[in-house]
């Protein structure tokens, strides 16, 4: 399935089932991706999470029905997935700035969150630096963490993991033990084995066969793979986030390569991460597209 067409299929499915109990696995199946990678790419391309999109679309339609029909508030609340009028009222007020009762009684302005249509615009004159690298297998010393595939949760838990790892000495210990004093890695492995609702993420560094393994750490072999490597220049996290957006919106829709959805690595060198000339890399496992 075409990369962008798969994503649009999933969006169309959401729109057709906004009054149903939407299941992330079923949504992702429309795109041909796992639930984890679908949510991740959706967030990168749209700058908001899948959950936010569904919630805002439902509240938009609920507002239209409150102001334009005679349906009761409780019936509209249940229709769009809210168990009680109170939970619906809280969500409605946060989104629209007025209560459902106010929307029902007068013509106060309501907010609208429009249906998403995925368009990839091909623009001339843009240069994106990347290289395709075939790497032999290598080993990393890592500390692994497990996170929800829900982007509304992991957008906080992964930064918290990094903060904790700086504070408790994990990052410094990796620099002390690595065979390569250049980079610390953030490795995203995808779904946790036997659990489609979580994924594994580690903070890691290159290591050798005789590297000491401290408590709480483990060694993993990264298999030989072909990688697309992208350079990011600028302060973190904006530089990495902007590069990810370009990878998903510009590179993969037009390149001769597609992601394998096995893992990706962000390589962070020592340095001032808020500096405008700070340089890091994103590595993505890829394969050549089939004609």
Please tell me the distance from the alpha carbon of residue 177 to that of residue 287, in angstroms, as a whole number.
32
pTM, full prediction:
0.85
Q: Which residues pair with 183 in a beta bridge?
A: 269
Please tell me the distance from the alpha carbon of residue 140 to that of residue 119, in angstroms, as a whole number.
38
Asked if 3-105 and 130-288 have one fold, the answer is: no
Q: Tell me, what's the pLDDT at 241?
A: 92
Task: State the Cα angle at 131 between 280 and 202, rounded to 5°.
Answer: 45
Q: Tell me, what's the pLDDT at 285?
A: 96
pLDDT at 122 over 80: no
Counting residues of the chain whose pLDDT is more than 90, the rounded percentage is 72
Structure tokens at 17: 């089932």
Structure tokens at 207: 């290591």
pLDDT at 70 over 90: no
Please tell me the distance from the alpha carbon of residue 59 to that of residue 226, in angstroms, as a whole number.
44
Q: Tell me, what's the pLDDT at 151?
A: 85
What lies within 8 Å, CB to CB, of 80 at 6+ separation is 18, 19, 58, 59, 61, 62, 88
Q: Tell me, what's the pLDDT at 197?
A: 86
Q: Tell me, what's the pLDDT at 181?
A: 82
What lies within 8 Å, CB to CB, of 153 at 6+ separation is 147
33 contacts 195 by C-beta, under 8 angstroms: no
CB neighbour class for 259 (10 Å; exposed up to 12, middle 13-18, buried from 19) = buried
Q: Tell me, what's the pLDDT at 135?
A: 96
Instruction: Taking residues 226-230, report their average pLDDT.
Output: 97
pLDDT at 219 over 80: yes
Q: Which residues pair with 218 in a beta bridge?
A: 142
Q: Which residues pair with 143 in a beta bridge?
A: 203
pLDDT at 129 over 70: yes
Please tell me the distance from the alpha carbon of residue 279 to that of residue 234, in angstroms, as a whole number.
7
pLDDT at 1 over 90: no
What topology is assigned to 130-288 in CATH?
Answer: Multidrug-efflux Transporter 1 Regulator Bmrr; Chain A (3.20.80)
Task: Please report how many Cα atoms fall inside a 13 Å half-sphere around the Cα of residue 185, on the Cβ side.
Answer: 26
Counting residues of the chain whose pLDDT is more than 70, the rounded percentage is 95
Structure confidence at residue 104 as a pLDDT band (50, 70, 90): confident
Q: How many contiguous H segments (helices) and E segments (strands) does the chain have? A: 11, 8
- Domain 3-105, classified CATH 1.10.580.10, yes or no: no
Domain residue ranges of the chain, discontinuous segments joined by +: 3-105, 130-288
Instruction: Taking residues 174-178, report their average pLDDT.
Output: 92
Q: Tell me, what's the pLDDT at 189?
A: 93
14: left (phi over 0), alpha (psi -120 to 50) or beta: alpha
- Specify which of 1-15, 97-111, 166-180, 184-198 reaches the highest per-range mean pLDDT: 166-180
pLDDT at 69 over 90: no
Q: Which of 249, 270, 110, 265 is nearest to 200 (CA)?
A: 265
Task: Please report how many Cα atoms fall inside a 13 Å half-sphere around the Cα of residue 92, on the Cβ side.
Answer: 29
């Amino acid at each position: 399935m075409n990369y962008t067409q798969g994503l649009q299929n999933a969006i169309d499915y959401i729109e057709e089932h906004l009054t149903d109990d939407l299941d992330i696995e079923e949504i992702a199946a429309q795109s041909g991706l796992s639930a984890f990678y679908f949510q991740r790419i959706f967030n990168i391309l749209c700058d908001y999470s899948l959950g936010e999109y569904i919630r805002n679309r439902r509240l938009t339609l609920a507002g239209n029905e409150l102001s334009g029909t005679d349906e009761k508030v409780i019936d509209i609340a249940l229709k769009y997935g809210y168990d009680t009028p109170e939970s619906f009222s809280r969500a409605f007020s946060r989104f629209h700035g007025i209560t459902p009762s106010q929307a029902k009684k007068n013509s106060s302005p309501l907010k609208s969150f429009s249906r998403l249509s995925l368009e990839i615009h091909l623009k001339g004159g843009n240069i994106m630096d990347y290289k395709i690298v075939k790497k032999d297998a290598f080993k990393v010393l890592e500390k692994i963490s497990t996170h929800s595939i829900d982007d509304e949760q992991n957008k906080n838990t992964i930064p918290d993991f990094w903060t904790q790892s700086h504070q408790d000495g994990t990052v410094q210990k990796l620099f002390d033990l690595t065979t390569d004093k250049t980079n610390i890695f953030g490795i995203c492995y995808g779904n946790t084995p036997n659990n489609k609702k979580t994924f594994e993420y580690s903070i890691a560094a290159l290591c050798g066969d005789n590297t000491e393994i401290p408590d709480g750490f483990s060694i993993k072999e990264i298999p030989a793979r072909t990688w697309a490597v992208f350079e990011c220049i600028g302060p973190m996290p904006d530089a990495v986030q902007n590069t990810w957006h370009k990878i998903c919106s510009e590179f993969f829709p037009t390149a001769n390569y597609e992601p394998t959805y096995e893992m990706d690595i962000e390589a962070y060198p020592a340095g001032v991460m808020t500096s405008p000339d700070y340089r890091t890399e994103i590595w993505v496992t890829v394969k050549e597209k089939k004609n």
